[in-house]
Amino acid sequence: MRLRRGLLLGGVFFTGLALGTASSPFMRAVGQDAPDNSTYQQLSLFGDILATVKQDYVIDPPADKLIYNAANGMMAGLDPHSSYMNAKQYADMQVQTSGQFGGLGLEVTEVDGLLKVISPIDDTPGAKAGIRPGDIIVEINGHATDGLSLDDAVNKMRGAPGTKITLTLKRNGITTPVHVTMTREIIKIQDVKYKLFQTSAGPVGYIRLASFDENADPHIRNAITKLRAQSGKPLHGYILDLRDNPGGLLDQAVAVADDFLTQGEIVSTKGRHATDDQVWYAQGTDVTNNAPVVILTNAGTASAAEIVTAALQQNRRALVLGTKTFGKGSVQTILPIDNEGALRLTTALYFTPSGKSIQGFGVTPDVKVSDTATPDDQFAALREDDLINAFANPTGQQNIPLPPAKPLPAVAAQIPAVPPANWPKFDATKPSTDFQLQMGLKLIAGMSAPQ
């Protein structure tokens, strides 16, 4: 498969490294053609504002802070996923791509001035402390987050490993504040976990992919090899758990989808410039030997995870069970600026094999199953179209012929959409309490290998 340059699909959630170049910054700002008078006038206006603030503000503000805030404001006004990173933030992002970084392991975003948790990363202080998707962080160490920028909030939650931090949360369904004290750690993301389950149809391999960092594809392949060795006999099928997977690197999304496909389109991208238009196809390697596949999704399944989900679903390779995904259909490129950090800039939209964009819509599961008896919980259902300045879904895309849809297995009609009233409280250490997982095992036991 061909990659012109590294592309990023992590968006507001999880940042990864993508490479690009930024030549002639001024010409990029005003366009390749000669700037018109209105552009010069607006730049002059900015200069006047900067000079006035420096001269008349109540204190003398640092010029670098003013420029940083102005640059970040300009980028944030474009869309939720474009931003300016100073040199330190850029270095932090590069570390994150390797799957190891410092912090609490929380993926957060800002919605209507509120600091909101998208999801905690597996096996991090945030996950161990029981922080949930949809929690609103109202205080950090007793200081209100109201009016705090997303970058400032993240910086306050970072700190030296071993130091403690207390977050005060507003949680849906609870009228009193929730106080959580954690100890900061060096976060080492275990991007893939796997486990063997026994079903009435035979052994089933469960694989959870937490993010699409640079090791996602080889770790998926390694998990499949280990599961086969544990089983000692052919596996009936695989469950690929992409719940709360915030995305990551485009090339890893393509590679993981290719692991399960023998043919068909995986994804395409279309941008402002022809050089941003690309199409990726499966290379004919299905490492599961055509075994049935079920993908688990929820509102935290985003970006690169949505690419894999849509590719396998629309090529009729897998059934999707869970709830509708996040709906992030844009691609970001990292454009380094000489010794001054980098821009994370949206440069393209991606399209599923059907030729349609999931921007703002997400992927709809084949079998809708919620992990809660209240699936319409507005706090937990944060999605792309809830974010400020989110792109509208592009229209007029031509439909591409897809393989005909097959009827769902008969067992699908017996799977309830919500847990029964007596279902045990979810415990991450007890798979028997994971309602979506248990329904996924029930579904895959009723599936036969695709031809």
The Cβ-side half-sphere exposure at 76, using a 13 Å CA radius, reads 16
Instruction: Say whether pLDDT at 154 is over 60.
Output: yes
When pLDDT is cut at 50, 70 and 90, the band that residue 328 belongs to is very high
Tell me what pLDDT residue 309 has.
98
Instruction: Say whether pLDDT at 5 is over 50.
Output: no
* Distances from the Cα of 295 to the Cα of 195, 241, 363, 368, 371, angstroms: 15, 6, 11, 12, 15
192-445: CATH, from 3.90.226.10, 3.90.1150.200, 1.10.10.10, 1.10.1240.10: 3.90.226.10
Tell me what pLDDT residue 152 has.
84
Tell me what pLDDT residue 13 has.
34
Tell me what pLDDT residue 137 has.
95
Tell me what pLDDT residue 22 has.
35
Spatial contact of 1 and 280, defined as CB atoms under 8 Å apart? yes
Tell me what pLDDT residue 417 has.
95
Tell me what pLDDT residue 68 has.
86
Largest CA distance in the chain: 76
Instruction: Say whether pLDDT at 66 is over 80.
Output: yes
Stretch 77-84: mean pLDDT = 88
Instruction: Say whether pLDDT at 178 is over 50.
Output: yes
Instruction: Say whether pLDDT at 191 is over 60.
Output: yes
When pLDDT is cut at 50, 70 and 90, the band that residue 17 belongs to is very low
Distance CA 312, CA 319 (A): 8
**Average pLDDT score over the chain:** 84
Q: Which of 35-39, 116-120, 187-191, 216-220 has the lowest mean pLDDT?
A: 35-39
Tell me what pLDDT residue 397 has.
59
pLDDT 10s digits, 258-314: 999 999 999 999 998 888 799 999 998 899 999 999 999 998 899 999 999 999 999
Spatial contact of 261 and 318, defined as CB atoms under 8 Å apart? no
Tell me what pLDDT residue 41 has.
80
Tell me what pLDDT residue 14 has.
33
Tell me what pLDDT residue 32 has.
47
Tell me what pLDDT residue 315 has.
95
Tell me what pLDDT residue 375 has.
63
CB proximity list for 41: less than 8 A, separation 6 or greater = none
The full set of domain ranges for the chain reads 101-188, 192-445
Distance CA 184, CA 179 (A): 16
Q: Pick the residue with more confidence: 119 or 86?
A: 86
Read off the tokens for 261.
């496909």
Stretch 437-447: mean pLDDT = 97
Instruction: Say whether pLDDT at 99 is over 70.
Output: no
Q: What is the DSSP letter of 319?
A: E
When pLDDT is cut at 50, 70 and 90, the band that residue 27 belongs to is very low
Stretch 407-436: mean pLDDT = 93
Tell me what pLDDT residue 36 has.
61
Instruction: Say whether pLDDT at 229 is over 80.
Output: yes
Tell me what pLDDT residue 139 has.
95
CATH of domain 101-188: 2.30.42.10
314 three-state secondary structure = helix
Consecutive H or E run containing 74: helix 63-76
Spatial contact of 391 and 329, defined as CB atoms under 8 Å apart? yes
Tell me what pLDDT residue 15 has.
27
Tell me what pLDDT residue 110 has.
81
Distance CA 142, CA 280 (A): 49
Stretch 86-97: mean pLDDT = 73
Tell me what pLDDT residue 341 has.
87
- Of these ranges, 16-25, 74-83, 199-208, 427-436, the one predicted with the greatest mean pLDDT is 199-208
Tell me what pLDDT residue 90 has.
83
Tell me what pLDDT residue 164 has.
93
Instruction: Say whether pLDDT at 402 is over 80.
Output: no
b (16+ CB within 10 A) / e for 51-74: eeeeeeeeeeeeeeeeebeebbee
Instruction: Say whether pLDDT at 170 is over 70.
Output: yes
Tell me what pLDDT residue 16 has.
27
Tell me what pLDDT residue 352 has.
95
Tell me what pLDDT residue 282 has.
97
